[in-house]
Amino acid sequence: MAQIRLKNVSKRWNKFIGVDNFNLDIADQEFLVLLGPSGCGKTTTMRMIAGLEDITEGEIWIGDRMVNKLEPKDRDISMVFQSYGLYPNMTVYENIRFPLKVRKVPKEQHHERVMAASKMVELDDFLERRPAALSGGQRQRVALARAIVREPNAFLMDEPLSNLDAKLRVSTRAQIKNLHHTLKRTTVYVTHDQIEAMTLADRVVVMNKGVVQQVGTPMEIYDRPANTFVASFIGSPAMNLVSGSIENGVFSSDGIRIEGLPHRASGAVTLGFRAEDATLAEANGQIEAPIYTVELLGEATMLSMRVAGELVSIKVGKDYRAEIGELARIAIPASACHIFDQSTGARIEA
């Protein structure tokens, strides 16, 4: 069993706070993603779980053991890093085998376990090559196999796809998802890429400046962001956010007016809505503004307009054609709107 618990965990360097009072229970076999921009504390959190970084305050438990003072080698975890960390003078076979030698696993088990790990990541044809003869994607698969071969209770992955090109990221992401389904091991995965978080995670922890902003399933975070930071970080494109005011369920700002909002809030607020929730209107749209850009995406067309000083994106049909500068009328259902406190950024519930 590899439930991981963080209780009031903080990390400080003098006056700088890297992680502030982090509390979380990660279930056995869960795939948890730590998501946020550079410097938000996600990698520091993972390194504290691994034992590569001392904690300033709090407790970290793996299973029924508090591991604050345990060395990384004694925590029964495997790590996969952004830099592959392969030994250039060893073959792929020997790189995969190396953790077994270090941990003094009986030699008679080595070949079977190396071959099983290699098969999982489709490396059987490359076992005699050295890392220099491999592509980036193949090297990352060697790193994955080296983590798998140890058969740990938990995997920790620090931005393992960030060095790969777009096509390889997609295929390797699918491989990681399938491996988690097959191996059924607790996994903590660090990324700044919200698409990776949405596609891989059972739950996502969104962090900013060392503080947890929201914890939830990918759809909970996408559909009900806790604040404007989460709303602006999740989604491609991110949620549109427009400052204005609301009175008696009517939001208004320069170039936009939406009636029938089921909110008791009044005064200065921030309105949020997703690009895909808006539609073109022949007349009486909630937004009327000149088109700023037209982007053909293949499956859809993305329009952008300047509304209340913000650039707003709208996703419309792939066959839509328009010129920059043309007036567009956009309908936004009241049910698709999110309201946030303008001063704190916190979500205001209906």
**pLDDT one-digit tens code per residue, 47-58:** 999 999 999 999
Contact 144, 85 (CB under 8 A): no
Q: Is the pLDDT of residue 2 over 90?
A: no
Contact 307, 314 (CB under 8 A): no
Token pair for 78:
């495997």
pTM for this prediction: 0.90
Q: Is the pLDDT of residue 1 over 70?
A: no
Among the ranges 137-141, 261-265, 308-312, which has the highest mean pLDDT value?
A: 308-312
Backbone angle region of 59, left / alpha / beta, with phi > 0 → left and psi within -120 to 50 → alpha: beta
Q: Which of 132-141, 305-314, 328-337, 340-349 has the lowest average pLDDT?
A: 132-141
Radius of gyration of the chain (CA): 24
User: Collapsing DSSP states into helix, strand and coil, what is residue 51?
Assistant: coil
Helix (H) or strand (E) holding 229: helix 228-233
Q: How many CB atoms lie within 10 A of CB 140?
A: 26
> CA-CA distances (angstroms) from residue 309 to 152, 216, 230?
52, 32, 21
Q: Is the pLDDT of residue 301 over 80?
A: yes
**Residue 125 CA to its chain's centroid (Å):** 32
Binned at pLDDT 50, 70 and 90, residue 199 comes out as very high
Contact 131, 158 (CB under 8 A): no
Instruction: Give the type of residue at 23.
Output: N
Token pair for 10:
């903080």
Choice between 239 and 175, residue whose per-residue pLDDT is larger: 239
The label of the residue with tokens 């591991």 reads: 67
Q: In what order do the strands lie in the sheet with 186-191?
A: 77-80, 154-158, 186-191, 31-35, 203-208, 211-216
Residues 248 and 246: their CA atoms lie apart, in Å, by: 7
Token pair for 62:
């793996």
Query: What is the pLDDT averaged over residues 234-238?
Result: 90
What pLDDT shows up at residue 16? 94
Residues 226 and 206: their CA atoms lie apart, in Å, by: 10
Query: What is the pLDDT averaged over residues 124-137?
Result: 90
Query: What is the pLDDT averaged over residues 177-198?
Result: 93
DSSP letter at 261? Answer: -
**Nearest in space to 314 (alpha carbons), one of 304, 324, 329, 327:** 304
Length of the chain: 350
Binned at pLDDT 50, 70 and 90, residue 285 comes out as confident
Contact 61, 39 (CB under 8 A): no
Residues 6+ away with beta carbon under 8 Å from 178:
none
Write the DSSP string, 81-139. -SS----TTS-HHHHHHHHHHHTT--GGGHHHHHHHHHHHTT-GGGTTS-GGGS-HHHH
Q: Is the pLDDT of residue 264 over 90?
A: no
Binned at pLDDT 50, 70 and 90, residue 104 comes out as confident
Q: Is the pLDDT of residue 283 over 80?
A: no
Query: Please, what sign has the CA dihedral across residues 217, 223, 228, 233?
Result: positive
Q: Is the pLDDT of residue 304 over 90?
A: yes
Residues 6+ away with beta carbon under 8 Å from 16:
none
pLDDT, tens only, 56-87: 999 999 999 999 999 998 998 998 887 777 88
Domains and CATH numbers, the chain: 4-228 (3.40.50.300), 237-341 (2.40.50.140)
Q: Is the pLDDT of residue 157 over 80?
A: yes
Query: What is the pLDDT averaged over residues 325-348?
Result: 94
Give the side-chain half-sphere CA count within 13 A for 228.
16
Binned at pLDDT 50, 70 and 90, residue 115 comes out as very high
Residues 328 and 336: their CA atoms lie apart, in Å, by: 19
Average pLDDT, the chain: 92
Q: Which of 55-59, 139-143, 164-168, 232-236 has the lowest average pLDDT?
A: 164-168
